[in-house]
Amino acid sequence: MFRPVKSVKNQFTFFIKQTFRRHTGREYCELLTRGIAGEKGELNRNYPWAYIRLFALFIALYAVFLLIIRFTGNELFAPTVNLLAAICFNLPFMLFLYELYPERDLSFIGVCLAMLIGGTGAQVLVQVLYSLFPASDVWQSAVYSGFFEELCKGGAAIICIIVAGKRSPLAGFVFGAAVGCGFSVCEDMGYIFVESNELPNMNLTTMITVGMARGASALCTHTLWTAAVGWAYCFFDRHLSNAVFYLVLILSCGLHIAWDLPLGNVALGFVYAGCVIVACSECAAMLVTSRRKVFSAKQGSEDGAYFVEDEDSLNRRMPEYWHHAGHLALVIGSFLMALIAIIYCSVPFRETYGTQKFADAESFIFFMQDGKPYAAQSDRPYDPSMSDSDTPFEEDGIIVRVVQHVQADGVTYNYTYPATYDEVSGNYYYFSPSSISVTVDGIDYILEQIYDHGVLYASFFRLNTSVEVTGYNLESDGGITVFIYDADFVRDLSEPRYTILFIIFASIFAAAAITYVALRIKAWRVKKCLTKNVSSAE
């Protein structure tokens, strides 16, 4: 049965106890089935507790897949890591806000649907607006992103509220948070992939740092900005014709614009701090005032009178208390191991691929061409006067392309021109070269090109065969990082860094296991003592 708690002297301490106490299957069932049948019933007076369990689960899974990539070098699981990084903060935070919703007429499944459909719909609308109104510079891009994204998320949240038929301010807050959360997950996955993608491999350090930074910022950006808009839509009368609603919407747009401003690190840090304070204060005020209004309207109760189930888990004289303490020790140990694994994987180690950075395109071309100053004319037109050096290729008796061999700098350049035949005039027309190669010592090397945002960065022939270059990463300073495959690399698990990791893991696991066994023994003794007392009383 539920036990009412009318007054709590230390709310924070009580909150921590309620968060980490043992929760029964009945409580899990109530949380997951709440609102499905549409009934209201009693108000939800439980402290939020499920979110911390979901967060711990995601962090543990995230660490497991990071370790798989680190130890095996198999980047097949990189998309899984990206997904877990995007949801490990966003989804538990959305669940936390849902647990604060006092009514029992809103299902978590409906909130998740709003997250998936509303977040996706908002992303589609935003991309359409970006295509119609491209930004000319980074400042305009910040303004566009603030207005476009907040308007689209706000519109999606309003549609979800209307479809669900929930018009209470707290319901609007939760639906707005769900849409913002879905939008944030999509965006975070994209940022993590783009910034960590250094073909042919992924930069694991960047993947972790970007993922954690984006995840932490999710607690005070998209989710809260859109939640405020959803709350304002339901709180103020006349909805879309109320000026105060638009002030809240403009505030969310302004916070987003400020967050994206292209400022220096110091200035941007102050801007971030201001945005966090404003967004958190605004949403906290919305939650507190609305919850108090709901609780006071329901039998005159106050927000703060909570019900506690399974009081045996809070009583040290009961074996359930020590059982739960033992399980909690294992969970804490696993969580610490996960954090250490994430930190370990974020440290860059030289594994299968080595890197070499060049300050400019010229030095990179010199390296790739093994010091040879070969240069081809990418836009060279076809020269009919050199027909004696042509190698034509025909289909059904019609020339479809011609390879013209040009001697220059002591080597032979091979230009391949696509051809088309005009039956009226009986003439052939040749287009720009579709491919270019150079013949050196009887071997043909194809011209390769690298583009940076649509601009040609470097053209080169891969003459340097002493190393196996597998990919490139263009730097913002005009340089380029080259990834070189090390065929002789052998992962030695006896190296100090691996040994240290194993020792730390073994120590934490041993401490958690010993604590668990000790607490289970304590639970057994308490149970034995209770049984003995009952027998004596009889």
Specify the pLDDT at position 307: 47
Dihedral in degrees, nearest 10, Cα atoms 367, 368, 373, 378: -140
Q: What is the pLDDT of residues 90-135, one digit of tens each?
A: 999 999 999 999 888 889 999 999 999 999 999 999 999 999 998 8
Average pLDDT over residues 363-379: 91
C-alpha span between 233 and 157 (Å, rounded): 9
Query: 245: closest CA among 254, 260, 235, 259?
Result: 235
Specify the pLDDT at position 118: 95
Average pLDDT over residues 263-278: 91
Number of residues written out for the chain: 538
Burial of 269 (0-12, 13-18, 19+ CB in 10 A): exposed
- The answer to whether 14 and 3 have CB atoms below 8 angstroms apart is no
C-alpha span between 157 and 246 (Å, rounded): 14
The DSSP element (H or E) to which 444 belongs, if any, is: strand 443-452
Q: What is the pLDDT of residues 136-150, one digit of tens each?
A: 888 898 999 999 999
Specify the pLDDT at position 534: 61
Specify the pLDDT at position 436: 94
Average pLDDT over residues 322-349: 86
The DSSP element (H or E) to which 411 belongs, if any, is: strand 411-422
- Burial per residue of 74-99, b for 16 or more beta-carbon CB atoms within 10 angstroms, e otherwise: eeeebebbbbbbbbbbbbbbbbbbbb
Specify the pLDDT at position 166: 84
Q: Which of 30-39, 170-179, 432-441 has the lowest mean pLDDT?
A: 30-39
Rg, Å, the chain Cα set: 32
Q: Look over the chain and give the mean of its residue pLDDT values, rounded to a whole number.
A: 86
- The answer to whether 460 and 448 have CB atoms below 8 angstroms apart is yes
For the record, the structure tokens of 85 come out as: 């990084």
Alpha carbon 162 to its chain centroid, in Å, reads 29
Question: Which region, left, alpha or beta, applies to residue 411 given φ > 0 means left and ψ of -120 to 50 means alpha?
Answer: beta
Dihedral in degrees, nearest 10, Cα atoms 70, 72, 75, 76: -130
Q: 344 vs 286, which has greater pLDDT?
A: 286
Alpha helices (runs of H) in 400-495, residue ranges in sequence order:
none
C-alpha span between 491 and 353 (Å, rounded): 12
**490: pLDDT confidence band, cut at 50, 70 and 90?**
low
- pLDDT at residue 432 greater than cutoff 80: yes
Specify the pLDDT at position 285: 94
Specify the pLDDT at position 305: 44
C-alpha span between 388 and 305 (Å, rounded): 96
Q: What is the pLDDT of residues 197-210, one digit of tens each?
A: 765 667 788 889 89
